[in-house]
A and B are shown apart, each in its own frame.
Chain A
Amino acid sequence: DQQVKQNSPSLSVQEGRISILNCDYTNSMFDYFLWYKKYPAEGPTFLISISSIKDKNEDGRFTVFLNKSAKHLSLHIVPSQPGDSAVYFCAASARGGSQGNLIFGKGTKLSVKP
């Protein structure tokens, strides 16, 4: 039973264009959402997060949008760079994220081509 779903296993984008990675969740108790980035042979690293009281959070080239009614969030990367090529994991938690019990999606592999 996947509570966090990333339905696109891979995405290919041209350098300079926008990358949009999508994530859906089923548990209405989730109130905190995070995106992690993972390079091969490395652990996931935190990228950006959003609380359920917001619908948008921006950090440089990265913006996360949250649509609670649709139980959907997306990560926008603008402009995309070759160094952004990695696997991106969406994660969610309940109770404000303080317990650390993050539920992860399967990840989307982003390839940014020069």
Chain B
Amino acid sequence: AQSVAQPEDQVNVAEGNPLTVKCTYSVSGNPYLFWYVQYPNRGLQFLLKYITGDNLVKGSYGFEAEFNKSQTSFHLKKPSALVSDSALYFCAVRPDYGGSQGNLIFGKGTKLSVKP
């Protein structure tokens, strides 16, 4: 079955420190992987995606993610966290069902808290 796991419900980081939000996936075929961020009372905002190519993907707001096929992981990273990065982060995978079926399967989400 296709699935995404975010093993940490919450990640706490001090401002200025690097942050990592973990994601592992299980999918048959080529994985299409995405990270989204949700601020309180807002919709989800796209951060970055991995489709193919370079394993290090750069996205919005200084975030990047590393695709690791052998570990089936797609961890989100940022070299220096900001208080404004505090939000709920979702990892998602899009299984290849063929055709134009394109729904996303989301992880449970990880709450990132950055303290000044």
- Do the two chains belong together in a single complex? no
Using a CB–CB cutoff of 8 Å, the interface residues on chain B facing chain A are: none
Q: Which residues of A are interface residues toward B (Cβ below 8 A)?
A: none
